[in-house]
Amino acid sequence: MFEYASDYARNVDLVMLYIVGISFILFAGVIIAMLLFVYKYSKKRNPVATNIHGSTALEILWTAIPLVLVLSMFYFSYIVYDKSREVPKDAYEIGVEAKMWAWKFYYPDGKTTDTLFIPQNKNIKFKIKSIDVNHSFYIPAFRIKEDAVQGRENFFVINADKIGSYDIACAEYCGLNHSMMYTKLIVVPETDFNAWMEGNKTSEELIAIADKKLSEKQTLSKNTTGILYAKGCVQCHSVDNNKAVLGPAFAMLNRGIAKVKIGEQYTEVKIDKEYIKRALVKPSQEIVVGFEKVKMPEHTNLLTDNEIEHIVNLLYENFASKKQ
């Protein structure tokens, strides 16, 4: 819950803590006073009620104290927000385009991607827009949520200080596949980012770099499976549990034998690397029984041969060859 990856995120959390802290103290005060009064002024102990007619001092006090508290909440929120609106001169600009139902990112040199890559410790200005309905650009680890609206450009400045890969979601209901508008923000050292810009490093290498940095903290399955996030497989296949999403969970690849439908025929095939590869490049050839309704997209034109090989090995080693 408290994962954060920029100063801005840290400050947002501090303000939040401050507000929740004050609320909690007030809550405790009210409850304690109430219990105390119930005890002290019950009919048994205090048979004759006292009538109090106004007290200017008390009224000023109970107006002034909450006013100061509320204004201080506003003040802290405002300075944090205001800072996020300052665009440093050297800010690196990345265009964020939302559409039903995907994100697209534009870099200054004309490159475009579906996964967002940024260099570490650099001011980045996101220029956010939508080409259709309203969306909202949401990166929880950075405490960013900024509307993407057609015909208008919103912006946000961040400076990511932790290498890693973070979720990006759409936080404004935008139609049927709203819940699939997930992608990743990949933060890598600036040298790697520049190498990527110049074509000397692939997106997969950057993802691997980001994931390796997380490996100290995170579980094995998480850090080796970055490409499954980057390529959108996780929209339909869960990576960390047995539950089917739109497709079977990858963990189920360890069932050894797959019941599949080929044409109108039902048959059983062994789950090996070849099977996984066929599932990936010719998904409509062997349909996993129970999942006939959803069509897995053809990935051949979205993946290079290297990527296919990498994914096949990864799925085989991480899932298919695991004991049941």
List of residues contacting ligand HEC (CB under 6 A): 231-233, 235-237, 246-248, 252-253, 258, 276, 279-280, 283, 287-288, 291, 294, 296-297, 299, 311, 315
Instruction: Answer yes or no: are the C-beta atoms of 164 and 210 closer than 8 Å.
Output: yes
Question: What would the two tokens of residue 4 be?
Answer: 């954060």
Q: Tell me the residue ranges of DSSP E strands in 27-177.
A: 92-99, 102-106, 112-113, 116-119, 123-130, 135-139, 144-148, 154-159, 164-170
Verify binding: residue 170, Cu ion, rule CB under 5 A.
yes
Residue 320: other Cβ atoms inside 10 A: 20
Query: If 0-12 CB within 10 Å is exposed, 13-18 middle and 19+ buried, where does residue 183 land?
Result: buried
Verify binding: residue 174, Cu ion, rule CB under 5 A.
yes
In the complex, minimum distance from the CB of residue 145 to Cu ion, in angstroms, rounded to a whole number = 12
In the complex, minimum distance from the CB of residue 103 to ligand HEC, in angstroms, rounded to a whole number = 15
210 binds, among ligand HEC, Cu ion, none (CB under 5 to 8 A by kind): none
In the complex, minimum distance from the CB of residue 204 to ligand HEC, in angstroms, rounded to a whole number = 12
174 binds, among ligand HEC, Cu ion, none (CB under 5 to 8 A by kind): Cu ion
Measured from the CB atom, is 174 or 312 closer to Cu ion?
A: 174
User: Of 83, 63, 68, which Cα lies nearest the Cα of 14?
Assistant: 83
Query: Which contiguous run of DSSP H or E holds residue 54?
Result: none
Measured from the CB atom, is 162 or 278 closer to ligand HEC?
A: 278
CA atoms within 13 A on the CB side of 264: 0
Measured from the CB atom, is 170 or 228 closer to Cu ion?
A: 170
Verify binding: residue 271, Cu ion, rule CB under 5 A.
no
Measured from the CB atom, is 21 or 175 closer to Cu ion?
A: 175
User: Of 108, 153, 118, which Cα lies nearest the Cα of 139?
Assistant: 118
289 binds, among ligand HEC, Cu ion, none (CB under 5 to 8 A by kind): none
Verify binding: residue 96, Cu ion, rule CB under 5 A.
no
Q: Which DSSP letter does residue 234 get?
A: G
User: Binding segment for Cu ion among 128-136, 224-232, 249-257, 303-311 (CB under 5 A)?
Assistant: 128-136
Verify binding: residue 135, Cu ion, rule CB under 5 A.
yes
Measured from the CB atom, is 149 or 303 closer to ligand HEC?
A: 303
The strand pair at 116-119 and 183-188 is best described as: parallel
Residues, the chain, total? 324
In the complex, minimum distance from the CB of residue 324 to ligand HEC, in angstroms, rounded to a whole number = 13
Verify binding: residue 128, Cu ion, rule CB under 5 A.
no
Distance (Å, whole) CA 221 – CA 241 = 10
92 binds, among ligand HEC, Cu ion, none (CB under 5 to 8 A by kind): none
101 Ramachandran zone, left/alpha/beta (phi>0; psi -120 to 50): beta
Verify binding: residue 181, Cu ion, rule CB under 5 A.
yes
Measured from the CB atom, is 73 or 180 closer to Cu ion?
A: 180
Measured from the CB atom, is 168 or 258 closer to Cu ion?
A: 168
